[in-house]
Structure 1
Amino acid sequence: MRKLFLLFALLLTTVGFSQELNCTVAVIAQQTGNENNVVFKTLENQLNEFINNTKWTGKNFGAQERINCNMVINVNDYNNDSFSASLQVSSSRPVFNSTYSSPVYNYNDRNFNFQYLEFQNLVYNDNQFESNLISVLAFHVYMILGMDADSFELNGGDDYFEQAQTIASYSQQLNGQGWKLEDGLQSRFALIDNLMSPSFKDLRTTMYKYHIEGMDVMNEGAKEGKMKIIAALDELQKVHRVRPNSYVMRVFFDAKADEIMEILSGGPSVNITEATDILNKVAPMHSQKWRNIKY
């Protein structure tokens, strides 16, 4: 009987918590002047169900392993089934032996135009274009999965980034912005192209060392953790020498800048002069925050 109970419990765990994400999707339509239109709430409900109930990987995630993330869709305009919007995506990962969650991915996708009919079926296909709505959301899902995996294992996000690149490739058939080389240096194409390039391998090393060797030891040794974080950030100088002011570096600091400022401003005393010199060099767009680091 006990074996049967354990087997039943295991099945419940596998079925109930096999999905990877704990995602909150919000659709905001104030700029349309018609935010009470029921289509926006229907879209929001369908997207929450789609993101959280789709099986994105071949792995089973326990309830405590699901990645916390948010997607905020700001609709600027719509006409029948055509929507013009932007998308803000963010995710975080837990820090070992603490209640703190560290931001990992923070991306503002300004070119999010899509078509949607109320109650239409939302289906993701690994290797086939369905719609720009599905492609953009799936792309960011795999970016969330990849960034999270990179923070736990060196280059752990490879499979997820490869799938994001596949989505970018087959979505180029659409006129939607953000999928092609000619869409500029601040696009989905540029982001995944950068991450998959050997030129940025040291950024991915930083992602791993920052979290595993720095954040995850802070609760047991705050000073050691801070010094490891500074050492991890030093790796970014290698990237800066090869590709200064790169977009992927900006995406990294959009997620981490506030956290870095707070960590270096508090806790046990360490020499922050070297750290601020590094930060001003590799992330000058956040220079005001680096000036606010006081110790």
Structure 2
Amino acid sequence: IHCQIQLIIETGNSNFDFGSRVIFTARRPIYDTVTETTSIILSDESWRFNYPEGRTLIHDELQFDNLTGTLDFFMNIILGYDFDSFSELGGTEYFRKAQQVVDLAQTTASPGWTRAANNRRNKFTLVSDLLNASYEPLRTAYYSYHRLGLDQFSSDPELARQEVLDALTMIRDSKRRATSNYLFDIFFDTKAREIAGIFGEAEAPVRREAYSILLETDQGHLTEYSNLQN
């Protein structure tokens, strides 16, 4: 898996305590092409950790550390999304491993690992939603989007677009029943530009149908989809 980590250090002190923002961008290949698709973009806006220069990073599944624990958590989430894109609900094993990191973190006071009333967009909520059966239709749509849609694009673009359209319909229906938009926002923050490109060259009826779904489902990226109205 190709993964890029962008770390922005915002604060630091003489005790080697750092406050930062971090963005993880993962990619997967598209079948029968030399191109890749961005599979998921994840971020932590308030990552705090301690790192003295030269310290060895050790993977420890029994003792929590907010530096290695955060890396373990996001790597398992990325693996889960990657496996979900190749087989229906295939990433569950890795989401459960991420849940184990969250459970271990409950023994500490590290921020972002508990269900906070004033911040529902944290690591606790992310993995809880991914393992919640209510969001399985979204995960199934994620598989359809990649394996039945993108991976068929080189051989049958029209069929691939229809599969992507069907996936977006599943996402719309799932969002109507959802109590949280977190996973949907992650999906569209990752995929909005790609979706606009997929339907930009489609026949007018398909473009307009896609736009109708996106108008309801992804209000945050309507500028990206403006060319689909015509």
Structure 1 Cα separation of the partners of residues 95 and 46 of structure 2: 20
The residue number in structure 2 matching 1:77 is 11
The answer on whether the counterparts of 2:211 and 2:229 sit within 8 Å (CA) in structure 1 is: no
Which among 130, 144, 165 is matched to residue 195 of structure 1?
Answer: 130
More deviation in 252-261 or 240-249?
Answer: 240-249
Number of equivalent positions: 228
Which among 263, 269, 288 is matched to residue 223 of structure 2?
Answer: 288
Which among 145, 148, 151 is matched to residue 213 of structure 1?
Answer: 148
Gap change, CA 1:269 and 1:95, over 3 Å in 2: farther
Structure number, greater radius of gyration: 1
Structure 2 Cα separation of the partners of residues 121 and 197 of structure 1: 35
Gap change, CA 1:117 and 1:202, over 3 Å in 2: same
Gap change, CA 1:244 and 1:279, over 3 Å in 2: farther
The answer on whether the counterparts of 2:18 and 2:50 sit within 8 Å (CA) in structure 1 is: yes
Structure 1 Cα separation of the partners of residues 196 and 4 of structure 2: 23
Alignment of 1:153 with 2:87, yes or no, is yes
TM norm structure 2: 0.94
The residue number in structure 1 matching 2:60 is 125
Which among 185, 194, 197 is matched to residue 250 of structure 1?
Answer: 185
The answer on whether the counterparts of 1:262 and 1:293 sit within 8 Å (CA) in structure 2 is: no
Structure 1 Cα separation of the partners of residues 217 and 108 of structure 2: 35
Structure 1 residue ranges without an equivalent (≥5): 1-66
Deviations 1:248-271 (A, max 9, x none): 110111111110011111256652
Structure 2 Cα separation of the partners of residues 127 and 238 of structure 1: 40
The residue number in structure 2 matching 1:261 is 196
The residue number in structure 2 matching 1:204 is 139
> Match for 1:151: what amino acid?
S
Give the secondary-structure state (helix, strand or coil) at the position aligned to 2:46: strand
The residue number in structure 2 matching 1:233 is 168
Alignment map for 1:36-47 (pairs within 5 Å): none
Gap change, CA 1:220 and 1:180, over 3 Å in 2: same
Which among 28, 33, 38 is matched to residue 103 of structure 1?
Answer: 38
Alignment of 1:273 with 2:182, yes or no, is no
Q: 1:240: Cα distance to partner?
A: 1.2
More deviation in 117-126 or 237-246?
Answer: 237-246
The answer on whether the counterparts of 2:21 and 2:43 sit within 8 Å (CA) in structure 1 is: yes
Q: 1:244: Cα distance to partner?
A: 5.7
The residue number in structure 1 matching 2:113 is 179
Deviations 1:35-74 (A, max 9, x none): xxxxxxxxxxxxxxxxxxxxxxxxxxxxxxxx00111110
CA RMSD of aligned residues (A): 1.5
> Match for 1:254: what amino acid?
D
TM norm structure 1: 0.74
Structure 1 Cα separation of the partners of residues 130 and 190 of structure 2: 15
Structure 2 residue ranges without an equivalent (≥5): none
> Match for 2:7: what amino acid?
I
The residue number in structure 1 matching 2:97 is 163
Q: 1:174: Cα distance to partner?
A: 2.4
The answer on whether the counterparts of 1:223 and 1:269 sit within 8 Å (CA) in structure 2 is: no
Give the secondary-structure state (helix, strand or coil) at the position aligned to 1:292: helix
